[in-house]
Amino acid sequence: MDRPDTFFDPARHGFVRVAVAVPRCRVADPAFNATQTAALLEQAAAQGVALVAFPELGLSAYTCDDLFHQQALLDGCLDALAQVAEASRGHDTVAIVGLPLRVDHSLFNCAAVVQRGRVLGVVPKTYLPNYGEFYEARQFNPADHAQATSVRLLGQQVPFGAALLFEAAQAPDLRFHVEICEDLWVPVPPSSYAALAGATVLVNLSASNVTVGKSAYRQALAASQSARCLAAYLYSSAGAGESTTDLAWDGQALICENGQPLAESERFADEAHLICADVDLQRLVHERLRQTSFGQSAARHADRLQAFRRVGVAGPAPMPGPLRRTVERYPYVPADRSRRDERCHEVYAIQVQGLTQRLRASGIGKVVIGISGGLDSTHALLVCAAAMDRLGLPRTRIVGVTMPGFATGARTLDQATRLMQAVGCDARTIDIRPSCEQMLRDIGHPFADGRAQYDVTFENVQAGERTSHLFRLANHEGGIVVGTGDLSELALGWCTYGVGDHMSHYNVNASVPKTLIKHLVRWVAETGAAGRAGSRADPVLPGEPLPPEGLTQVLLDILATEISPELVPGDAAGQPGQSTESQLGPYDLHDFFLYYTVRFGFAPPKVAFLAHHAWCDAAAGVWPEGAHVQRRAYSLAEIGAHLRTFVRRFFQTSQFKRSCVPNAPKVGSGGSLSPRGDWRAPSDGEAAAWLARIGELPDTPGTERP
Question: Which sequence positions are flagged as catalytic?
Answer: 56, 125, 181
- The CA–CA distances, whole Å, from 61 to 94, 123, 208, 364 equal 21, 18, 12, 70
- Look at residues 234, 138, 147, 135 and name the one whose alpha carbon lies nearest to residue 184: 234
- Helices 375-391, 410-423: crossing angle, 10 deg rounding: 10
- The CA–CA distances, whole Å, from 105 to 101, 108, 304, 653 equal 10, 10, 27, 70
- Look at residues 358, 380, 290, 342 and name the one whose alpha carbon lies nearest to residue 671: 290
- Preceding omega of 586 cis (within 30 degrees of 0): no
Torsion of CA 374, 375, 378, 382, to 10 degrees: 170
Q: Give bridge partners of residue 53 from the DSSP assignment.
A: 20, 96
- Beta-carbon contacts of 302 under 8 Å, excluding residues fewer than 6 positions away, are none
CB of 531 within 8 A of CB of 389? yes
- Look at residues 57, 65, 63, 105 and name the one whose alpha carbon lies nearest to residue 81: 57
Q: Tally helices (H) and strands (E) across the chain.
A: 22, 20
Q: How far apart are CA 234 and CA 254, in angstroms?
A: 6
**DSSP secondary-structure letter at 160?**
B
Q: Give bridge partners of residue 17 from the DSSP assignment.
A: 278
CB of 620 within 8 A of CB of 613? no
Q: How far apart are CA 356 and CA 350, in angstroms?
A: 10
DSSP secondary structure, 314-333, as one string: --PPP--SS--S---S-TTS
Q: Give bridge partners of residue 368 from the DSSP assignment.
A: 399, 481
Element (H, E) at 343: helix 337-362
- Helices 604-615, 636-648: crossing angle, 10 deg rounding: 140
Q: What are phi and psi of 30, to 5 degrees?
A: -60, -35
Amino acid, res. 606:
K
What are the start-end ranges of the H helices in 508-564?
A: 514-527, 549-559
User: In degrees, to the nearest 5, what angle opens at C-alpha 176 toward C-alphas 174 and 180?
Assistant: 160
CB of 306 within 8 A of CB of 161? no
CB of 16 within 8 A of CB of 50? yes
Determine the longest span between alpha carbons in the chain, in angstroms. Answer: 104
- The CA–CA distances, whole Å, from 221 to 181, 183, 651, 684 equal 11, 11, 39, 46
User: In degrees, to the nearest 5, what angle opens at C-alpha 380 toward C-alphas 376 and 386?
Assistant: 150
Please state the length of the chain.
Answer: 706
In sequence order, what E strands does 184-308 have? 201-205, 232-235, 254-257, 260-264, 273-280
- Beta-carbon contacts of 701 under 8 Å, excluding residues fewer than 6 positions away, are none
What are the start-end ranges of the H helices in 111-176?
A: none
Pairing of strands 118-124, 106-115: antiparallel
Q: Give bridge partners of residue 156 from the DSSP assignment.
A: 153
